[in-house]
Structure 1
Amino acid sequence: MGSALLAGCSNSSETASSEEEAATETTTTAADGDTIKVGILHSLSGTMAISETSLKDTALMTIDEINANGGVLGKQLEPVVVDPASDWPLFAEKARQLLTQDKVDVIFGGWTSVSRKSVLPVVEELNGLMFYPVQYEGQEQSENIFYTGAAPNQQAIPAVEYLMSPEGGSAERFVLLGTDYVYPRTTNQILRAFLKDQGVADEDIMEEYTPFGFSNYQTIVSNIKKFSTGKKTAVISTINGDSNVPFYRELTNQGIEASDIPVMAFSVGEEELRGIDTNLLQGHLAAWNYFMSVKNPTNSDFTKAYKKYAVDQKLPNADKVVTNDPMEATYVGINMWKQAVEKAGTTDVDKVRIAMGGQTFDAPSGYTLKMDEENHHLWKPVMIGQIRSDGQFDVVYKTDDVIRAEPWSSYIPK
């Protein structure tokens, strides 16, 4: 799966023209009805539900917030929620349903790259619009997708640089451990090339993949312990979904602490840690662009609003809900789309696409984020957090300002 990289901007002019014609039949505008329909495309069942359910809830909260403030272009937003159930082909089917049957004007959704790549040809064919809220491997750019999560230069590479620094433990040996699909494989291809560029030998890099839903990490963790003998070692984890719970439990079972072998996770945040005894994980790390624990008035408002929404909607464990990076990216994406629609004066995809360039938003991270005028990616800060016993993160590193995304890594030939 990891080798099937799509270049979304490679369509011929003839194809683009036919897509524009199709758009007149499949894409509605605000003038077509009493409401503006918004598609929510997240796995609410299956292995990815642990991560994606909260993104659906964040999207609905944001829509309620916008509607309470007058809606968009004087109309209320009407969410259309579908469950692709952690089934990658079903993401494509549900995206097509949203655009052709439900007549939504925009889709917010996805977590895994394989889900995004399933949707990409559908939104390009129908000239739909999708906002993707999770960090990813890059190597992609589409006229029909806006990427509000991090590109590799806004997460993966800075995280490894931190681990190699004295502050991060001066790691010399690295375990690249991930779920077996495009995001971990491509990210680790980039990181392997980066590490070699930094003088790390092949024999000091261990690379291993497990299927979605994998739970038996006993042998893998044992092998990591053996591999770490003799040199300071760190684990780069691109494990996704509910497999994170048994992985971290096995670390504890085998007595591995952060001071011995720190784990830097790219897909574990506050939500995933709710299912783990974090007393035993103190000191392990995660790289994101937002943490719930950051202190500023915008984040205080965001976290309070989500907690209130959880209680009002009687969400499971409503008194213990948390916010995380993809939730913030969802919130930012929906609000930026609203701003672009209002600037364009329509929900027409071609006009909104143009209006999105240069949009800014004061995000809960405490930074003003900007949508790049050229590459459909956000300028974002980089943060590294250390797990606390309460399941939150202490921010141990952050950039002074936002960083422009580089979707095409120089470590992978085009």
Structure 2
Amino acid sequence: MDGDKELAELRELLLRSGAEPRDLTPLPGQQERMERSLAAIVATPRDERSAPRPLRSRSPRRRRTALTTAAVVATAAAISVVLVLRPGDPTAPAAQAGTPPLLSFELAPDGRLPASGRPAAAELERLASLRAGQPTAGSGAVQHVSVDAWWAATVDSGGPARPATTVTPVHTDSYFFPDATLRVVERRGVPLTTAGRIDEPVDLSRGAVTSDESFPSPDPGPRHAAGLPTTAAGVRARLARDDDPALCDDQPAACLVNDMIDLHRSYVVPPDVDAALWGALAREPGVRYLGRTTDRVGRAAVAFTTPSYDGVSQIVVFADPTTGAFLGDELVLVAPSPSYALRPPAVTSFSAVVEARWMHAADVPR
């Protein structure tokens, strides 16, 4: 079957499923999970009974967007990216070829999860108290979120060659305007040190722009984060309204953590909403505190982990220990999976929120 015919059949299938071209563009922060979903699609064995349940959007409202985007990304899935590591800390936990090294945590020095850490409720409540007293960053009407990220995708050509997992560094700047226009600028990310960290920022004046697009944003729009409840119970209930029950009824902590990740990759989240989110997470008994660490961009952080809803990974989230600010997230493969040509443990993605602040429209780069 030739490529054009395959694409035509895929397009017909997506249209029958209700896909619309206007929904092709993801919200900022969803791209990494879409790539993991794509990896699960292209690497699923012929006998589907042996494959784990694939990752998919937790929100029924957003699932159509993720599906159509995955179809478009599939056309470029054969591009290989080489992970370049630079000299750094020789004591860092070892990495597999092609993946970032595991981080070392105060309560998990070797970086191996999930049998690490201690119950997280007390530390999460401390973060909630800290965050509630913080000011909102910046001023103006435009939300700017800057993220350094790496994500992995496994490609199986179906031929005799073994599936290959590639890791791609991306720096993203998103600008959310009050008229619901969303501008997303992507640049190639920078190499990691051998300790698995980024020790120099992307040079925005010289870094090659790989994508710069503006478009009307999908729901829920630019005021979504600002309108969320500021109590733990209230924000938990509001976010759960859009979660997928098939995933989240059995994995409430994973879904709450992923809702937090989505929010912080897309919005300047108000400090009182942040505080409510940490308070809600403190009520999830499966969350573990990993202690202090240094995050992927060299900041002092505290870390927490919970099992992902894919059944083979652990989600790690990072916070500033002095302000309670959300710093980023990481996904670590901890069990064998046909979705990745990797041996566990292995880092399959991470993102670091390097800036989240309000700015004036006149200050947005042209």
Shorter-chain TM-score category? Answer: under 0.3
The TM-score with structure 2 as length reference comes to 0.24
Bigger strand share: 2
Bigger helix share: 1
Q: Which structure exhibits the higher relative contact order, with contacts defined as CA atoms closer than 8 Å and separated by 6 or more residues? A: 2
Q: From the CA coordinates, give the structure whose radius of gyration is larger.
A: 1
The TM-score with structure 1 as length reference comes to 0.22
